Amino acid sequence: MQYIGEHLLPGQIGHLLAVLSFVAALLASVSYFLAVRRRTLPDEAGWRLLGRGAFVVHGLATLGIIVALFWILVNKYYEYQYAWANVSDDLPFQYTFSAFWKEQQGSFLLWSFWHIVLGMILLFRAGRWEAPVLTVLSAAEAFIGSMILGLYIGEYRLGVSAFDLLRHTMDAPIFERADYLSQITGNGLNPLLQNYWMTIHPPTLFLGFASTLVPFSYAIAGLWTGEHREWLKPALPWALFSAAILGLGILMGGAWAYVALSFGGYWAWDPVENTSLVPWITLVAGIHAHLIARNTGYSIRSAYAFYLMTFVLVLYSTYLTRSGILGDSSAHAFTEMGLGAQLIAFIGAFAALSIALMAARSKGIPAPKQEEAIASREFWMFIGVLVLLFSAVLITGATSLPVWNKLVQIFKPDYVGAALKDPVAHHNRYQLWIGVFVGLLTGVAQWLRYQERNAAIWRRTFARHMLIALVGAAALTALNALWLNVFAWQHFALLFAAMFAVVANVDYLITFLRKNLKQAGSALSHIGFGLLLLGILGTGLNKHWISSNSFAMEGLIEGMGSEELNKNVLLLKDAPMPIRGYEATYLKDTIERQTRTFAVRFRKRDAQGNPTGEEFVLYPNVMYDRQFSQVVASNPSTKHYLTYDIFTHVSSLPKAELDPEFARQQEDSIRFEAYEAAIGDTIFTKKHYLVLDDYTKAPQHPDYRPEKGDLAFGLKLRAFALDDTVGHAAAPMLYLRPKQGAFTLPAQIGALQMRVRLTEASLARLIDADETLQYRSLRLKEGESAEFEGYRIQLVRLNRNVEHPHYTPEAGDIAVTAELLVTAPDGATAKAAPVFLIRDSRSLNLKDEVAKWGLHFRFENIEPSTATMTILAARASAQARRIPVEIAENAPRSDYIVLEAIVFPGINLVWLGSLLMLFGLGLSAWHRWTQRLRT
Amino acid sequence: MKRSHLIAIAVIAIAIGILISASQDMTTYANFAQATAKGDRVKMVGQLVKDRPVEYDPVKDPNYLSFYLRDDAGEVRRVILRAGKPQDFERSEQIVLTGQMRGDVFEASDMLLKCPSKYKDEEVYVRSEKR
């Protein structure tokens, strides 16, 4: 069949480039490999040139694929499955990036892109390391390239192409039509991913992942060429850079989870988080081993091992998150694409290469004959490296349980599998000790010296500064214990270790580095680590839910759950709810596009429950899907203070708000009863009474958008419970819209579970009342008065400025308002403003009323010769003044939200500490890079 | 003995110690029958029984959710979770619970939903009108 309107060219180009990119990466790897093998031989330069050429071609081809895919997404070519699944016509342009790397193919391309950028820098700057390093990097690129090939080799499909056509991936009758494209539209991007975090977090994280390949490649190069010391210098800035960026990527993930998703925290020990944290930990361990090796010659073997391990762990993390094996244990959803086997081959190849090379070259790796001195920095730094290794092994072990279960099930199909009872508690319990040891070691090792030969002389300085650190840490621990809820001795240990790290490193910074801040990277990082631990303690121990009201909820709970679990509170609209330390009120909600935003006001209260005067409004929102049939995301809103945050999100909504069908049924099942009353009267229902205060021709209602030509009427009333004097204002209304008909907008009085509405009978009474009225003419000049049925009517003045609600000005109109002052027998006064209008040489008039007294006025005529106005006045009968209204009681409430509100003390210490740690790494990377260039 | 050997021995000893203590944090996947027999906290995977009542009335208690779950053996039991009801609960294809049996009722402390449909809608939207 010849399909209409398809754009097949970008897809064909993309496909072709994918193959070219893959082949070029292979060629680059092989050429560079031969260039290394044939070092010092005449054809070395030729191979290297070929390798370069192939790598550049690979880079350009990959850029071409990226452009082709982007083109398809930007132009919304829904004939491609990738575009159909991830974008839609109404998707704002800036989210095209999110859509690009949302799926596996796009994120592989992003990863590949960074490898190419880094590879290009290495190609120009790595000098004699270019060939071995790029051999490894190109090989990795070939593996990644194979993931997006989408080639069939017999029955086996190698990779998943980003350019598959929708009609090839899906079987639907619509594809029997040649013009199917004009009938379909894209799915659009999941609203959860429509935010700027999804735009900045993946590129940063993938740059982090990609950059771990550089120290890995240097390590392989060192082992391969046997230049075990020489690679250490050029690789160091790369490793530091990688740790800074990978750390930043992970931190952004935490920040995203915290500020934009309703995960209720920045770290949840989720498998996806863990598997990106572990490579970072091994990388940091590797950097420390690397520094020992650079300065003393010890630990070269460890530096190798950790860098090799880091990249293999990055691959393992990729496997875990992309193969779908985490299924039961992670909240992150990944669509499985059948790449499992290819990913295992990728890990297998790089792990095997690493192990084989390490084994083969292990004997030749140099190390000093003499053991490290106990009083040396390298000894304690190495202990720290081992502690980090423990951390990595523990986290990986626990996170890999699903993999272990799968493996066992291959041999023992009835194996049920093990899982962690409570992952968060488990990880916290063990990682706490990692924090303690690392905190203490950073303080101690900083004050020791590499290859200490004069321990006796240094001992005094060391002891003095350790004393400063111990005393300072003890003081700060005591100080922080004032605000932290520390009870367990383990937490005291962690707090002390954190403070020890801070004091010792600040001391070091002041003593040695204040004149040379370029070298302050390590001290700053370690201070940051200490502050991060303090922040973790604050958010972990002092985090508390304020969204609970045990008093209000008491007796309502079946079986009485423990208070810890009561994290949600129900807020009725406009009803202030006392919660811990605050009074929360759900004020209003507004809808824009698919987002519904709730305004919730918090008023701080003191211990006695009195308001302190401090208040703020938070705006959590929920996002509906495109059909408005369900809520797909609940986004938090957070109040930031310097020392803590108040984090809120809507955890549930009334069913009627989630399900329009249910809402319709519910609305139909409400029973209204008819009543009649005049303005000023009171209606008594079974459980309530209502006072009709006024009648208006310019009503306001949340659902009413006035249009030209509308005739609108509304009531203002107050409703009371029979045994109460607190009035609840309500304003039902109805309006006539030309050519469309009459519409009634009921008023909800949530607190009393009431609905009040006007009906067609009300409309008839309001409009037709005129026919039953007996008008009497009053002839008045400006300023004059007349008596009417005991009321005194004064024509105050005429006004050319007409503001009658039912008056819409037209060109050529002559319109005048008669401003009347009405005085009742009891002295009360009211105003009325009927209008006289000449339009198209016909005289018309617009009436006005004093509804509470049943008085109606028309402005009928002006006699220019005598300056006398004819005002018609009438008083409606008691019966005619009664307005029919319908009232429902026991209407189900749908004006509430269920809110979760959490206080995170010390959250800013988490951000500050992490950023300082990463800044220190970045500073060191920059320092080492410039140093490297100098020699 | 060399110092590095001492360190290696210490590392191995600590590692074994941690492994033994960490194994107490483990639990197994179980169905209702196994959970009853075990009496301890377990992980459970099952599906929401859609034709049995889901009880959640936030006006009464926003921290009480009750529903029926079918485990992998096909057995249906009532589950109580003392927390709010997640937005897309009814659409879940699979529910992973952590908790233990109390009499006939499974009391869950933690719930994880799998709703692939949230991320992937296999339905082709047909345009209501042409561009």
* pLDDT for the residue A837: 85
Task: Note whether B93 contacts A: Cβ–Cβ < 8 A.
Answer: no
* pLDDT for the residue A796: 87
pLDDT at A562 over 60: no
Chain B CA closest to residue A380: B7
Residue with tokens 């370690």: A526
- Is there a single domain that holds both residue A127 and residue A31? yes
d(CA A625, CA A633): 9
Pairwise CB contact (< 8 Å): A328 & B112: yes
- Is there a single domain that holds both residue A739 and residue A828? no
41-60 of B, contacting A, C-beta below 8 A: 41, 43, 45, 56, 58-60
d(CA A69, CA A102): 13
CB A31 within 8 A of CB A44: no
- Which residues are CB-neighbours of A333 under 8 A, at least 6 positions away? B114, B115, B116, B118, B119
364-403 of A, contacting B, C-beta below 8 A: 371-372, 374, 383, 386, 390, 393-394, 397-398, 401
Domain residue ranges in chain B: 27-119
* pLDDT for the residue A120: 97
Pairwise CB contact (< 8 Å): B60 & A556: yes
CA–CA distances in Å: residue A723 to residues A575, A673, A689, A716, A888: 18, 21, 10, 22, 18
**Long-range own/partner contacts, residues A842-845 (CB < 8 A, 24 or more apart):** none
- What confidence category does residue A909 fall into, taking pLDDT thresholds of 50, 70 and 90? very high
d(CA A319, CA A302): 25
CB A376 within 8 A of CB A446: no
Pairwise CB contact (< 8 Å): A553 & B61: yes
Q: Burial level of A110, CB count in 10 A (0-12/13-18/19+)?
A: buried
When mean pLDDT is compared over A287-301, A644-658, A720-734, B11-25, the highest value belongs to A287-301
pLDDT at A843 over 50: yes
Shortest Cα distance from A631 to chain B (angstroms)? 6
d(CA A519, CA A789): 97
Q: Higher confidence at residue A502 or residue A268?
A: A502
Pairwise CB contact (< 8 Å): B28 & A419: yes
User: Torsions phi, psi of A377, nearest 5?
Assistant: -65, -40
d(CA A593, CA A611): 36
Boundary-marking domain end, from A767, A786, A805: A767
Question: Residue A701: what residue type?
Answer: H
Top residue of B97, B119, B120, B127 to mutate, by most chain A CBs within 10 Å, is: B119
d(CA A433, CA A426): 12
For A734, the enclosing helix (H) or strand (E) is: strand A733-737
Pairwise CB contact (< 8 Å): B15 & A419: no
- Is there a single domain that holds both residue A462 and residue A574? no
d(CA A812, CA A838): 8
List the single residue in A419, A561, A570 with the smallest CB-CB distance to B59.
A570
CA–CA distances in Å: residue A648 to residues A103, A193, A197, A232, A267: 30, 20, 19, 49, 17
- For A15, the token pair is 């496909």
CB A187 within 8 A of CB B121: yes
CB A786 within 8 A of CB A869: no
Pairwise CB contact (< 8 Å): B116 & A333: yes
Task: Note whether B126 contacts A: Cβ–Cβ < 8 A.
Answer: yes
Which CATH code fits B27-119?
2.40.50.140
Chain A CA closest to residue B58: A570
Least Cα distance to A143 among A286, A343, A293 occurs for: A343
- What confidence category does residue A276 fall into, taking pLDDT thresholds of 50, 70 and 90? very high
Pairwise CB contact (< 8 Å): A630 & B87: yes
- Is there a single domain that holds both residue A561 and residue A539? no
Top residue of B11, B24, B25 to mutate, by most chain A CBs within 10 Å, is: B25
Residue by residue, DSSP assigns A661-678 as: HHHHHHHHTPPPEEEEE-
Residues of A within 8 A of B71 (CB-CB) are: none
531-560 of A, contacting B, C-beta below 8 A: 553, 556-559
Please write the tens of the pLDDT for every residue from A332-342.
655 667 788 89
Shortest Cα distance from B65 to chain A (angstroms)? 11
When mean pLDDT is compared over A767-771, A885-889, B21-25, the highest value belongs to A885-889
In this prediction, residues A791-806 reach a mean pLDDT of: 84
In this prediction, residues A823-827 reach a mean pLDDT of: 87
Task: Note whether A566 contacts B: Cβ–Cβ < 8 A.
Answer: yes
Pairing of strands A582-592, A595-605: antiparallel
* pLDDT for the residue B127: 40
- Is there a single domain that holds both residue A489 and residue A554? no
- What confidence category does residue A302 fall into, taking pLDDT thresholds of 50, 70 and 90? very high
pLDDT at A517 over 50: yes
Lowest mean pLDDT among A10-14, A412-416, A579-583: A412-416
CB A794 within 8 A of CB A924: no
SS3 A679: coil
Within A779-906, residue ranges assigned H as helices are none
CB A182 within 8 A of CB A251: no
- Is position A248 within any domain? no
CA–CA distances in Å: residue A9 to residues A6, A150, A182, A440, A621: 9, 17, 19, 61, 42
- What confidence category does residue A850 fall into, taking pLDDT thresholds of 50, 70 and 90? confident
Shortest Cα distance from A652 to chain B (angstroms)? 6
Chain B CA closest to residue A566: B63
Lowest mean pLDDT among A25-34, A140-149, A255-264, A559-568: A559-568
* pLDDT for the residue A496: 96
Kindly calculate the radius of gyration of chain A based on its CA atoms and give it in whole angstroms.
38
CB A843 within 8 A of CB A837: yes
* pLDDT for the residue A564: 43
Top residue of A337, A652, A653, A890 to mutate, by most chain B CBs within 10 Å, is: A652
For A476, the enclosing helix (H) or strand (E) is: helix A455-481
Q: Burial level of B66, CB count in 10 A (0-12/13-18/19+)?
A: middle
Q: Higher confidence at residue A825 or residue A190?
A: A825
- What confidence category does residue A579 fall into, taking pLDDT thresholds of 50, 70 and 90? confident
* pLDDT for the residue B129: 33
Angle at B22 between CA B16 and CA B23, to 5 degrees: 95
Cα dihedral A483, A487, A491, A497, rounded to 10, equals 60
In this prediction, residues A156-179 reach a mean pLDDT of: 87
67-86 of B, contacting A, C-beta below 8 A: 80, 82-85
User: How is chain A split among helix, strand and coil, in percent rounded to 5?
Assistant: 50, 20, 30
Task: Note whether A270 contacts B: Cβ–Cβ < 8 A.
Answer: no
- Is there a single domain that holds both residue A27 and residue A145? yes
* pLDDT for the residue B1: 58
Shortest Cα distance from A184 to chain B (angstroms)? 5
* pLDDT for the residue B122: 39
* pLDDT for the residue B31: 83
- Which residues are CB-neighbours of A309 under 8 A, at least 6 positions away? A282, A286, A354
How does the average pLDDT of chain A come out, rounded?
87
- What confidence category does residue A560 fall into, taking pLDDT thresholds of 50, 70 and 90? very low
pLDDT at A84 over 80: yes
- Is there a single domain that holds both residue A36 and residue A122? yes
Please write the tens of the pLDDT for every residue from A395-407.
999 888 888 888 8
- Is there a single domain that holds both residue A597 and residue A580? yes
State the ipTM, two decimals. 0.73
pLDDT at A146 over 60: yes
- Is there a single domain that holds both residue A145 and residue A26? yes
- Is position A496 within any domain? yes
A-B CB pairs within 8 A amount to: 151
- Is there a single domain that holds both residue A123 and residue A3? yes
Pairwise CB contact (< 8 Å): A185 & B125: yes
Question: Residue A746: what residue type?
Answer: P
- For A459, the token pair is 């001992």
SS3 A459: helix
Lowest mean pLDDT among A61-75, A490-504, A712-726: A712-726
- Is position A235 within any domain? no
- Is there a single domain that holds both residue A129 and residue A44? yes
* Segments forming the whole domain that contains residue A648: 550-640+644-661+895-905
Lowest mean pLDDT among A51-55, A741-745, A802-806, B22-26: B22-26
* pLDDT for the residue A263: 67
Residues of A within 8 A of B30 (CB-CB) are: 416
- Which residues are CB-neighbours of A657 under 8 A, at least 6 positions away? A663, A894
Pairwise CB contact (< 8 Å): A390 & B91: no
pLDDT at A382 over 90: yes
Q: Higher confidence at residue A792 or residue A709?
A: A792
In this prediction, residues A44-61 reach a mean pLDDT of: 96
Within A609-682, residue ranges assigned H as helices are 655-658, 660-668
329-358 of A, contacting B, C-beta below 8 A: 329, 331, 333, 335
Please write the tens of the pLDDT for every residue from A354-371.
999 999 999 999 988 888
Task: Note whether A575 contacts B: Cβ–Cβ < 8 A.
Answer: no
When mean pLDDT is compared over A42-46, A328-332, A529-533, A655-659, the highest value belongs to A529-533
d(CA A116, CA A135): 13
- Is position A726 within any domain? yes
List the single residue in A185, A401, A570 with the smallest CB-CB distance to B58.
A570
For A652, the enclosing helix (H) or strand (E) is: strand A644-652
Question: Residue B65: what residue type?
Answer: L
Phi-psi region of B39 (alpha: psi -120 to 50; beta: other; left: phi over 0): left
For A157, the enclosing helix (H) or strand (E) is: strand A156-158
Least Cα distance to A695 among A562, A885, A521 occurs for: A885
pLDDT at A530 over 70: yes
- What confidence category does residue B41 fall into, taking pLDDT thresholds of 50, 70 and 90? confident
Boundary-marking domain end, from A719, A746, A767: A767
In this prediction, residues A261-270 reach a mean pLDDT of: 80
Q: Looking at the 3D structure of chain A, how many domains does it have?
A: 5
Question: Residue A916: what residue type?
Answer: L
* pLDDT for the residue A559: 38
Task: Note whether A876 contacts B: Cβ–Cβ < 8 A.
Answer: no
Cα dihedral A604, A608, A609, A610, rounded to 10, equals -70
pLDDT at A52 over 90: yes
In this prediction, residues A87-111 reach a mean pLDDT of: 90
CA–CA distances in Å: residue A120 to residues A138, A345, A618, A780, A925: 11, 26, 48, 94, 19
- What confidence category does residue A572 fall into, taking pLDDT thresholds of 50, 70 and 90? confident
pLDDT at A834 over 80: yes
* pLDDT for the residue A447: 92
Residues of A within 8 A of B25 (CB-CB) are: 398, 420-422, 425-426, 429
- Is there a single domain that holds both residue A823 and residue A918? no
